[in-house]
Chains A and B, each alone.
Chain A
Amino acid sequence: MLQITNLKKGFQLRGEIILPVVGIDEFVLEKSKMVAIHGASGSGKTTFLNLIAGLLLPDEGELHLDGIALHELSESKRDYLRAASIGYIFQSFHLLQSCSALENLLIAMSFGGQVNQAKAKEMLDRVGLKDRMSHKPGDMSVGQQQRVALARALINQPSLLLADEPTGNLDAQNTENSLALIKELCASSGASMIIVSHDPNVIHAFDNQFDWGDLNQVTETGSCI
């Protein structure tokens, strides 16, 4: 379960000027639940996900994942927690270009502490890439790359999956297929998921929806409500 209380994050612009980006009073995500957050581009959704992933530290507030206080962990512990318990899918997939699909999964597994080649192959098989395991991202279609990214995000059986505009580079048909696959894999692994998107079609595919503007207490001008 993810529990967020009084979370604040801003960025220093010039000198002493701080631009507030995230301000959330309370946010709770139950185990195995999937939520979709809708909001305009550049409004702080990615920063919110990066805070949950431990890639950024909050200025204020608390984040608890499965009972662990993320905001109190050292950087190395956050790194390990991210590898073992959090899967992350990006809009541009962020695959390692010099590595094959299988190697991308194995590398992710290595940071989680256990490398199992059979399991990685099985995962690629599940996302329909049995015949593309040794292909590098550059030799794959956009849809296939997205499936590698999904397989990589879920290979360590995380308790939480973060998806940042995961279908932003896909056409309508691929978006539909991809969302179905993400939901299916999350459901079967029991992982919770937060998906953020500016695309209403993506948001409507989920029962639990949030509007970023309602969730985030920071206005566009940069001041808290």
Chain B
Amino acid sequence: MYMIRPGLSIALFLALRGVRKHAFSSFLAIFTIAMAAGLFLSTWKINDETRRAFNHSSSGFDAVLGARGSKLQIILNSLFHVEASPGNLPWEQYEIIKKTKGVKEAYPIAVGDNYLGYRLVGTEPDLLLKHEWKPGHHYKTEAGGRIFTPLAKEAVVGSFVARKIGLQVGDQFHPYHGLNFKEENKHRDIYVVVGILEATGTPADRVIWVPIKGIQFMDGHDQSMSHSLSAVLLSLKGAAGFSLDMKYNKQGNVATMAWPVASTLSSFFDKFSWFQKVLELVAGMIAIVGSLIIVLTLRSSMNERKREFAILRCLGASRQIVSSVMVLQSLILACCGAFSGFLFQYIIHFLASYIIRENTGVLMHDFSIDIMGAYVFGTVLLIGLAGGVLPARQVYKAELSENLKQTT
């Protein structure tokens, strides 16, 4: 009541009354627009954020040397600890690449065992001691822990795994053969947990780190395993990537150099771009439905409101004021829809972040509204404006004497 003031505020007051009076259809319009805005923003944002998060989760490595096969498979297996390894490399390949000019760091890894479904990754202690997983950041163990020694049956557990299965320093466990947990595949070896890694928000949190010799000489493994490894993680200097790419991928046929990591991952995400387009199309169609619901809401109340508008005109309201009631009512619905859309996006983002983190260990950034959010907000307002213009035009052109006849 206190917002009744001369000018546009009276139109706003009447528009809000209109929204309240037609609460159900208003809710329906807001919900539909929120769905459209939320779906579109979520699709775009999650895709963008996932690409960014994966590109920043390569744990500080520039390339991976793996068995002859798919670059993407090598990267997913070695850096993200998902998918199976395309095969093994002879140990000599590690010795060669380590000494190659332009290679700053080289760490061998061996995979093939798990504990309760979480991968054991065999490597050198230096990876956890010296390597910077992010510039200026080394892996650290939580208080009371340490990194394993090269020849002992010791394990350092990623923070996510420790939290999920409750492993603590001093606990012992039997590894299981294979990447998937099967009770009958239990190894006889017993490992002791000597450290829990502090959380990094990278896939390193989702694995159990053990000495590479432990994997190579695990009870029950083929003897050939003792001289092979799954991949070599590499940090490069200068333009070494180009020469290594030439040497291994174009001229050689012994191993595959998965480089550069970012563009290889990008090709992976591009495979799902059709899905994003489908979702965007669906969001666009929902937006059209939302706009139609706004028009229908306004039009269905039109006959009833003709009386109200005629009375307002008799009281001295101009055509502009009464027609702006329609536009404002439409804009209110669109605004509420856009804001609810952001809320909807927040919920989807939260769920998607949780699922991605649970499955890959990759940490997505917190929810934020960026320039795309502003574009979507503007578009939704335009939809609202478009939805309100036709009914407003009808109100503007209505002859007062005609509407007065209907009121008596």
Contact = CB atoms under 8 A, between A and B. Distances in A.
Contact of B6 (A94, A99, A114): A114
A99 to B, nearest CB: 7
Interface in B1-48: 1-2, 4-7, 9-10, 13, 17, 21
B313 A55 contact: yes
Contact of A115 (B4, B314, B315, B317): B4
B314 A96 contact: no
Contact of B315 (A76, A97, A107): A107
Interface in A65-123: 75-76, 79-80, 82-84, 88, 90-92, 94-100, 102-103, 106-115, 117
Nearest to A75: B319
A35 B321 CA distance: 33
Interface residues of A, number: 36
A107 B318 contact: no
Interface in A140-188: 152
B408 A110 contact: no
B313 to A, nearest CB: 7
Contact of A111 (B17, B21, B315, B320): B315
A37 interface: no
A195 to B, nearest CB: 17
Nearest to B10: A110
A96 B308 contact: yes
Interface in B312-347: 312-321
Contacts of A3: none
Interface centre among A88, A94, A95, A103 (most CB of B within 10 A): A94
A161 to B, nearest CB: 13
B408 A106 contact: no
Contacts of B128: none
B359 interface: no
A79 B313 contact: yes
B240 interface: no
Contact of B408 (A92, A96, A98): A92
B311 interface: yes
A108 B17 CA distance: 16
A79 B315 CA distance: 8
B386 interface: no
Interface in B268-319: 307-308, 310-319
B4 A106 contact: yes
Nearest to B318: A79
A114 B7 CA distance: 10
A117 B6 CA distance: 13
B368 interface: no
Given A50-B404, A103-B1, A94 B311 contact: yes
B401 interface: yes
A56 B405 CA distance: 13
Interface centre among A79, A90, A109, A117 (most CB of B within 10 A): A79
A53 interface: yes
A39 to B, nearest CB: 16
B1 A115 contact: no
B404 A79 contact: no
Contacts of B321: 111
Given A109-B4, A111-B316, A111-B321, 7 more contacts: A50-B401, A50-B404, A56-B401, A75-B318, A80-B318, A82-B316, A112-B316
27 contacts: A53-B314, A55-B313, A55-B314, A55-B400, A56-B400, A56-B401, A75-B318, A79-B316, A79-B318, A80-B318, A82-B316, A90-B314, A94-B311, A95-B311, A96-B312, A102-B1, A107-B312, A108-B316, A109-B4, A110-B4, A110-B7, A111-B6, A111-B10, A111-B312, A114-B6, A115-B6, A117-B2
* The 3 residue pairs across chains A and B that have the minimum distance between CB atoms: A83-B316, A111-B316, A106-B4
